[in-house]
Structure formats: structure tokens, C-alpha cells
Amino acid sequence: MPKRKSTDDGDRKCLGTLKVETGGRPLFGLSFWPGTKIKSKQDEENEDIYYFCTVGGNTGTVYAIIKDKNQKLKLEITPREKFVDDDETEEFYTCCWTTAERISDNEDEVSTPLLIVAGAHGSAKIADFTQEPNNLALVGHGNAINDCRVHPIHPWLLVTASKDESARLWNVITRKCIAIFAGDMGHRDEVLTCDIHILGRLLCTAGMDNTVKIWRLDTTDIATAIFESNSKATKPHIVHD
């Protein structure tokens, strides 16, 4: 049997290992914040910081990896924020990041990071660590949420993939469901994963039924539903094909 080569040298060296306390429950998901700075009193003196979140059990935890002055990554990974669901039986499977535009005390428009976590209980929780209370929910799925993706062009749009055999498009700011992708031409078992093309026109879903579904996000009906989700209390648009 060939000897396995060591990965502890050169560019392949592991920079650090983090043991996360989740009460023995596994870590199902993680996601990097797509930037290098989140305003925090703890991090004011550091210029380059990488943030990521892990989800396990009923907890989502944000960690920071800090660059030193020599542009090398420090080995220590330090916790910064934590979101704990009120229900101890919740099991988060996935997480992602988005932003909300807010007006600061100086009347400047600033982007506030929002952490989205979702899992077994079928609702996506939105954690805003700058506000109190800091958690809101997207409720509508009839079973667990397995995956979630933020729209690459419009970060206030979110897609979730669920065990209830559907995917849903949400307005994160108004917390309204815009569209449901399911029905006659939809999945026949739970939807495990989803993604949106970088141009924002196509949604791709895949699941336990061994099929991949491609859905259009640029139709007139979807565009109208997105526009109306900003104000009106309308019912979500059902997409069958």
C-alpha cells in the first residue's frame, strides 16, 4: 500500500485547528463572510480580518482569523458573535451571509452584515448582531431546510432548498416569500442543494430524487413578484416548470 504523503509542509500546511463546542452535535455547515471587515470594537486595531460562521446544533458562531503585520495568518481563531436558537431541539444544517443597507448616526448609508442560518425546523433565521432583538425568521417551508443561497446581484434575495420537495425565493428585508419552485415539474423528494448563476437569471436545484432542475428567475411573473414583495402582502408566485 503506497505511503500517504504528509501535508504538513509548504503551502499545504494547516494554519490552525478549531474545536467547536456543540454538545457533541456535528457541524453541518460553514460560510465565509465575503469581505475582510465587520465593524467590531474588538477588531478596530486590525486591518485585515477574515470572518466565517459555523452551524451545529441550535447554534451559529462567528469566528475571526486575523492577519498579523507580516501578512501571515495567526493560528488562533477567536469567536466574535454567537446566535443560539431558543429551541434546543433545533439542528442547523446550513448558513450564508447577506447585507442590509442602513443609515448610520452620521446619516451615511452603511451595509450591515446579516447571518442566515436554517435547518431541521424549516425556518430560516436572520441574525443581525447590530440590532435588538437580533433574530428574525423566514417561515413557510413544511419541513427542514437543507441549503440556502443569496442572490449574487440582489443580496436581499435568498433561495432556500427544503425537505418538503420545494425551493423558495425570499425577500430577506420584508421577510416575504416571493416564489415557490415545486409542483408537477418539480422535485419528487427532498431538495438537498441549490445555487444561483452569477448573472442572477437561473436557479439550479438538486435532491434525493437524483434530478437537477433549472428554473428561470428573469421571467415577468418573477420580476413582478419581487417588486411586490417590497410592499404588498401578496401570496407567493408558484412556479411549476
For 81-98, write each residue's pLDDT tens digit.
899 999 999 999 999 999
Residue 205, all three cell numbers: 436545484
**For residues 173 and 112, is the Cβ–Cβ distance under 8 A?**
no
Percentage of the chain beyond pLDDT 70 is 77
- Give 121's DSSP letter: T
CB atoms within 10 A of CB 126: 22
Backbone angles phi, psi at 86, to 5 degrees: -65, -25
Average pLDDT over residues 183-194: 95
Confidence of residue 13 (pLDDT cuts 50, 70, 90): confident
Residues found in the chain: 241
pTM of the model: 0.85
* Alpha helices (H) along the chain: 220-228
Give the C-alpha separation, 139 to 176, whole Å: 9
CB atoms within 10 A of CB 166: 23
